[in-house]
A and B are shown apart, each in its own frame.
Chain A
């Protein structure tokens, strides 16, 4: 491949790719994102390859390994083009049938389709499935259309046309004005206006300047950036090059965590291909603009998502935040102007350039424009990545897209914004999703984690869980974060273990104030949020734990006891046999009882007791009923 030396040559080459492809040629696209690979996608891909080989269809069918479409819950996901038939949870043994029926006979394999759990209706196409239907997929839509490792695929979908546009007809200043007009705000957490950040760097006289991709995604349960960088690395790269051009930078970095091996591989491959095509390097597309990108693999510290810590790590030092009061877009990497944006922010840039700020601002609320990708996880029917228009309600995300709470449980709260975000209760589900709306409710947008919790979730334990995470991830440099979180963690652990004392809530509030007001970086300043937001909406749960030694959600192990209801026990022996510590006494036709001295609260009896008996109960904060006299334990005849 000879490097493309002008935008005309790029367009000509794009035309060659597109015209060389037959849109009616059957294409089997299999998600090769981390989620589907974990559920066996690579075996499915191999099975398709050998089946196509066996049927001598090599010349007639394309097999494509694509990025993540988002429906991880039902992976591996297979889509057959041009009909766009979507098969879910495909196994290698389904492959023969798919090839025979769908590829050769143009029929649908009914049993692999999505079935609506409510209506029982089957959905043939991806766009018929409610999970997808209610999303607005501007960024993630290409993930399934392209082979993540093919620059030609990206070009075929119009890739690098935004770069060509800025290099030929826009000045750096004009690019910044377009991004400012779009109202794009940083997708990484704080929601800082992207155009303003760029403008500050551009206007600063210091040189050189740097642009950086923050792919140090570290929130528990979040994988938006991972899926984008794995699935469509060129979209991020194109945004980065445009950003470099806009601010006058010739050097970019991608800071990606080593724990994302596929993302590291794919972005390196994308950079190599872009260099080969003349889309990176000297004199890009003959414009005179030079730009190079290096990949830096992070060692996996959550705090390195913080700008100054990330830049310290890039400079080769320990990833600890620096104390300073000048923004990093002015004094950043090596004290030079540096624009650091999140993966998703960069991926939005080519879309804004191609479609215009006016197109972008059509979607969203007054101060939050465009779409946002969330990773929807927890107690939700449809786990996966969802891209939603800003301004949609939380209720629509959870019920229309997410399919609601499984097993008929009641919704309790949704946690957004990553570990230092907050929990939003049922009463606020009509809230529109936007940066300021979420902050107003005591949570935040963050980078897009969304964890749904049901009635069985203990909110004190949730706070304890996130504070534990943050305590482990604190860099340890400043006192309020290191020592404050250490103490908050101890107190919260004590409360969940029934060792809470009067005054604990006030002490936690004092520690929170110090941590928020006095910490060095954003990690510490937001770390008490899990406590503050759960206290705000679920204070009664804290009080129940401390005063009554009761866990209302019946979750905290030290605060519950198991008890067999003699009226419901059928003396079936199941729990007795499964109890790992032999704490259950009973025999056939003799009602079982738990020896509380021996019981370790493991919950096995509760789980194995047949649901139609439902004899094992959890009790918290109330005395156990007195044991039934031995004589009354014998069951005579049938019980109803």
Chain B
């Protein structure tokens, strides 16, 4: 595998061709914050927290490090005033949904995000998609999916599949950064599983 030399936060790193910036940074012990990343899953690029500045030649641009791949002599900065400002606002937007998520609280402290900047929202799902993608890509069960679009988008268990498969799996439960998933599961169980003949409990 071809080696690619990149510089991240001043550190010279020999990455493998095809590595994402996040993977290269991880090897050098540089932590980039993220909420929708999972090593077993195809990069989603949804939370945008892992945004970094990538400079090549005379041009620099903001890219998300979970998707952008290493390039020879790329200079990457993972913390700048602008990046920190963007991360702070992204966190503030998510804190409107899940102000008590330990993961969000820790990041909020790091970036000085104010949990009360925006009015609280009724749903505490942050749409990282970890449950949906894990179930589809790793378990290949599609027991939980996204429904609707935009600000109306939410996760939903498919009772026909979930009633049969979920009780013995629940591997997505610890992935959820806000515990919203568990709530939806319990609700689906209460509303729809009892009538299902194949219920596995």
Whether A520 and B68, one on each chain, are in contact in the complex, defined by CB atoms closer than 8 angstroms, is no
Closest chain B CB from A604 CB (angstroms):
34
Closest chain A CB from B73 CB (angstroms):
17
Complex contacts, A301 vs chain B, CB 8 Å: 149
Contact of A518 among B43, B90, B118, B152 (CB under 8 A): B90
Interface membership of B10, Cβ < 8 A: no
CB within 8 Å of A: which of B1-53?
43-49, 51
Interface membership of B150, Cβ < 8 A: yes
Whether B151 and A517, one on each chain, are in contact in the complex, defined by CB atoms closer than 8 angstroms, is no
Interface membership of B131, Cβ < 8 A: no
Closest chain A CB from B76 CB (angstroms):
14
Interface membership of A175, Cβ < 8 A: no
For this complex, 8 residue pairs linking A to B, each with C-beta atoms less than 8 Å apart, are A474-B150, A476-B152, A477-B45, A479-B46, A485-B151, A490-B119, A517-B86, A518-B48
Apart from A323-B64, A323-B66, A483-B97, list 16 A-B contacts with CB within 8 A: A323-B43, A475-B149, A476-B146, A476-B150, A477-B44, A477-B127, A479-B126, A480-B86, A485-B151, A486-B121, A486-B151, A507-B117, A510-B85, A518-B48, A518-B62, A520-B64
Whether A477 and B46, one on each chain, are in contact in the complex, defined by CB atoms closer than 8 angstroms, is yes
Q: State the CA gap A27–B146 with chains docked (Å).
A: 55
Interface membership of A511, Cβ < 8 A: yes
Whether B127 and A514, one on each chain, are in contact in the complex, defined by CB atoms closer than 8 angstroms, is no
Complex contacts, B151 vs chain A, CB 8 Å: 471-472, 474, 476, 482, 485-486
Closest chain A CB from B41 CB (angstroms):
13
Complex contacts, A328 vs chain B, CB 8 Å: none
CB within 8 Å of B: which of A483-502?
483-487, 490
Closest chain A CB from B167 CB (angstroms):
27
CB within 8 Å of B: which of A450-483?
471-480, 482-483
Chain A residues in contact with chain B, CB under 8 A?
Answer: 301, 318, 322-325, 471-480, 482-487, 490, 507, 510-511, 513-514, 517-520
Chain B residues in contact with chain A, CB under 8 A?
Answer: 43-49, 51, 62-64, 66-69, 82, 85-86, 89-90, 93-94, 96-97, 117-119, 121, 126-127, 146, 148-153
Given A473-B150, A482-B150, A487-B93, A514–B86 Cβ distance below 8 Å?
A: yes
Q: Which of B48, B66, B94 has the most CB of A within 10 A?
A: B48
Closest chain A CB from B75 CB (angstroms):
16
Whether A483 and B94, one on each chain, are in contact in the complex, defined by CB atoms closer than 8 angstroms, is yes
Specify the main secondary structure of chain A where it touches its partner.
helix
Contact of B46 among A486, A487, A520 (CB under 8 A): A520
Whether A517 and B82, one on each chain, are in contact in the complex, defined by CB atoms closer than 8 angstroms, is yes
Whether A510 and B149, one on each chain, are in contact in the complex, defined by CB atoms closer than 8 angstroms, is no
Q: State the CA gap A513–B81 with chains docked (Å).
A: 13
Q: State the CA gap A490–B47 with chains docked (Å).
A: 21
Contact of B90 among A325, A514, A520 (CB under 8 A): A514
Closest chain A CB from B71 CB (angstroms):
10
Complex contacts, A486 vs chain B, CB 8 Å: 121, 151
Whether A325 and B85, one on each chain, are in contact in the complex, defined by CB atoms closer than 8 angstroms, is no
Complex contacts, A483 vs chain B, CB 8 Å: 90, 93-94, 96-97
